[in-house]
Amino acid sequence: MNKVLAAGLSIIMCNSFAQDFPRQDVNLEKLADEIFPLQDLDLNYEELYENLAQLISNPLDLNTITREQLRSLFVVTEEKINAFMKYREENTALLSVYELQSIPGWERDTIDAIIPFVTVYDSQSKLNASILRRIVQEKNNYLLLRYGRALESKLGYNSGTDSSQRYAGSPDKLYMRYRVARSNDFSVGFTTEKDAGEKMNWLPSQRQYGFDFTSWHVAVQNKGKIKNLVVGDFQSQFGQGLILGSVFGFGKNSETVTTVRRSNLGFLPYTSLSENLFFRGVAGSYALGKHVIIHGFASHTFKDGTIGYTAEDNSAISSFSVSGLHRTPAELRSRQQVGETDAGVVLQYRNQVLDAGLIFHQTEFDHQVVHSPRPYNQFSFKGSENRNAGAYLNYSVANFTFFSEFAQTLSHGHAVTAGLLGNITNQLEIAMLYRNFSKDFYSFNSNAFSENTVPQNERGIYWGWKYMFSKQWSASGYMDLFQFPWLRDRGYAPSDGSEWLLRFNFSPSKNVLMFLQVREETKIRNLPAETHLYLNTNGIKRNYWINCDYEAAPFTFKTRAQFSSYQLDSVMTHGFALVQDVSISIKRCSLSFRYALFDTDDYNNRLYFYERDVWLAYSFPAYYGVGVRTYVLAQYKVSKKIDLWIRWSQIRYTDSVEIGSGSETIAGNIGNDIKFQARIRF
């Protein structure tokens, strides 16, 4: 009775401030500023971030959410996770998300941060209805339809272009996605996509069914002893991601503490667009006892790759492709040429404070892997089979959590990572991590914390911290020291390096946020081959951010200045960008606008900026050269069931008479893109 009265009063009080606590879509822009890794590599960040956006778009039920799921949101400290679990244990079930304000230590900032990720389902309707009925009645049930294209003609679409550079399909980009899901209960969905330049074909023998890429899954959770069962496409996250890590792994970023640790989430449905980084088959988790769970999976996929021949005239995989693009003859020849079979098992013991497990994973390719020899890849994987075995141990005590994993590539090298994070005081959080990866450790599905893109040929120590001076002032930073015992791409010598970041935040009110941030990275780089042969020196990259967000309803303003410099062999180059965003939301319509000026000396000084896009799409282009970037995004809520988006963007260079290179070349200095999207809720 006391529980009901307390919850009722909580809900009444919170509903009186309903305007302050809206349930809304996740703020991807805030995640880009604070949680996502710093962008410096030639990766498809848009596809990587889109994978996370898909995961967090499915709200988690506060009455079934686990510690690991709370940690995976990166917005709640260990101290607050402990307080939440204790409150739920003592009060059985939450009646509303607004009841979060009753949890000791959960201030308004914490609740604001977590509200977009969570919900509370009606437990009675969940218990009384069959799973098919729950699927039909689920509110988180929608269809996305998306269309986009560049308005200017690119070289690859011209009939007079050399056939080796000519695109097979139209410049239209098409996307369709359907999903119905309930947290910790079920998920059903499919995703299809045609990239610009790809051709629509119905070729079952080549695993193409209209769209170039198709993904699907059916998943159920918590059905008796069956804790999880996924059929179709899935990803996995166990331990600290040395052997089995999901598609997206966070690196070093402005969130200096919580993102260091990987969450032990198990198997997850795959709903993203990256075409080479998932499993396809069946995965399941079965409870052997109260604290013991066995996880297993089997998968067979086809990856993009180039098949060549060895000196003995045997066929071999000479390279893999992860772009997912199949437009030109060469790209089409590499499409799904490599068969990959995976199998794995995880034996897990878990209670309230301890999470430990043993992992075994085997990968087998249908051809030998034989890379073209380079000075840096003498220890790269060779052969057709790879087996990894390992163990992980996570332990929580008070406001601290210890996490670790050890992995061994059988007959080759090993990898180990271990760390600690938690609250020293209510104001101070810290994180420490040690890592040591052999040059011949091989893992094809890893997302472990590392300086390299894969956990190989690296040793390092990381220390991160955050300090709250007051509700208005806070600071954070990290220092990372790392070594590369063997050569690496663009660094033909064993070397060491360092990286540090410092950030100050000032928020005088809930409508104003300002921050200053500086980052420096020192890492070995080969000198230009025209003047030096295999000589190298340290390259020093510095980035500076000045940001101010201001909200004056119905307007929101965001101003950012970003600077960079890169020093190599006594030569210093620079980059600069100034960005102004304005957003307005009135009733059913919202509008976002950007005007950006940028000037960079070279590609080493490219500057990445998040751009608002249609729901669940991610835009994170690199600004380089000299020019102007603008876009306009409009959203209109036709009804409770239908939302429409339209987005126009333009880039205009003042230092070039053409845009892009190769088949992507546009004659002229202006490029325009258009995108439409409709979301239909059922």
* pLDDT tens figures, 312-367: 667 899 889 988 999 999 999 999 999 999 999 999 999 989 999 999 999 999 99
Positive or negative CA dihedral for 173, 176, 182, 186? negative
Is residue 25 scored above 70 in pLDDT?
Answer: no
Domain annotation covers residue 402:
no
Closest CA relative to residue 93, chosen from 138, 141, 126: 126
pLDDT digits (tens, 9 = 90+) for 565-586: 999 988 999 999 999 999 999 9
Residue 41: in which H helix or E strand, if any?
none
pLDDT digits (tens, 9 = 90+) for 377-435: 889 999 999 999 999 999 999 889 999 999 999 999 999 999 999 999 989 999 999 99
Domain annotation covers residue 28:
yes
Highest mean predicted confidence (pLDDT) among 2-11, 179-188, 430-439: 430-439
- Average pLDDT taken over every residue of the chain: 88
The stretch 544-548 carries a mean pLDDT of 95
pLDDT digits (tens, 9 = 90+) for 56-92: 667 888 998 999 988 888 888 888 999 999 999 888 7
pLDDT digits (tens, 9 = 90+) for 618-642: 788 889 999 999 999 999 999 999 9
pLDDT at 543: 94
Domain annotation covers residue 101:
yes
DSSP 528: P
pLDDT at 461: 98
Domain annotation covers residue 9:
yes
Tokens of 7: 């919850």
Is residue 233 scored above 80 in pLDDT?
Answer: yes
Provide the β-strand partners of residue 561.
546, 578
Domain annotation covers residue 555:
no
- 80: three-class secondary structure by DSSP: helix
pLDDT at 38: 59
pLDDT at 677: 97
Q: What is the Cα 109 distance to its own chain's centre?
A: 24
Is residue 517 scored above 90 in pLDDT?
Answer: yes
Is residue 259 scored above 60 in pLDDT?
Answer: yes
Say if residues 544 and 564 touch (Cβ distance below 8 Å): yes
Question: Which of 66-70's residues contact partners 24+ apart within 8 Å by CB, and which partners?
Answer: 67/396, 68/263, 68/264, 68/265, 68/355, 69/263, 69/265
Tokens of 571: 């030569």
Domain annotation covers residue 117:
yes
pLDDT at 87: 92
- CA dist 348 and 642 (Å) reads 43
Domain of 76, in residue numbers: 1-34+59-139
Is residue 138 scored above 90 in pLDDT?
Answer: no
Is residue 472 scored above 70 in pLDDT?
Answer: yes
In 510-535, which ranges are E strands?
Answer: 512-526
The stretch 282-299 carries a mean pLDDT of 97
In 185-314, which ranges are E strands?
Answer: 186-194, 201-203, 208-210, 213-223, 226-237, 266-269, 279-287, 292-303, 305-309
Distances (CA, A) of 630 to 274, 621, 659, 665: 27, 12, 16, 20
The stretch 144-169 carries a mean pLDDT of 94
pLDDT at 135: 81
The stretch 278-282 carries a mean pLDDT of 96
Say if residues 436 and 461 touch (Cβ distance below 8 Å): no
Q: pLDDT tier at 12 (50, 70, 90 boundaries)?
A: very low
Domain count, the chain: 1
Q: pLDDT tier at 3 (50, 70, 90 boundaries)?
A: very low
If one compares 460 and 426, the residue with the highest pLDDT of the two is: 460
DSSP 619: B
Closest CA relative to residue 455, chosen from 433, 475, 438: 438
What percentage of the chain reaches a pLDDT higher than 90? 65
Whole-prediction pTM: 0.90
pLDDT at 35: 59
Question: Between β-strands 400-409 and 414-423, what pairing exists: parallel, antiparallel or unpaired?
Answer: antiparallel
- 405: three-class secondary structure by DSSP: strand
If one compares 189 and 50, the residue with the highest pLDDT of the two is: 189
Q: pLDDT tier at 48 (50, 70, 90 boundaries)?
A: low
If one compares 79 and 594, the residue with the highest pLDDT of the two is: 594
What percentage of the chain reaches a pLDDT higher than 70? 89
- CA dist 510 and 508 (Å) reads 7
- 150: three-class secondary structure by DSSP: strand
Domain annotation covers residue 107:
yes
Q: What is the Cα 620 distance to its own chain's centre?
A: 12
pLDDT at 16: 36
pLDDT at 44: 57
pLDDT at 8: 40
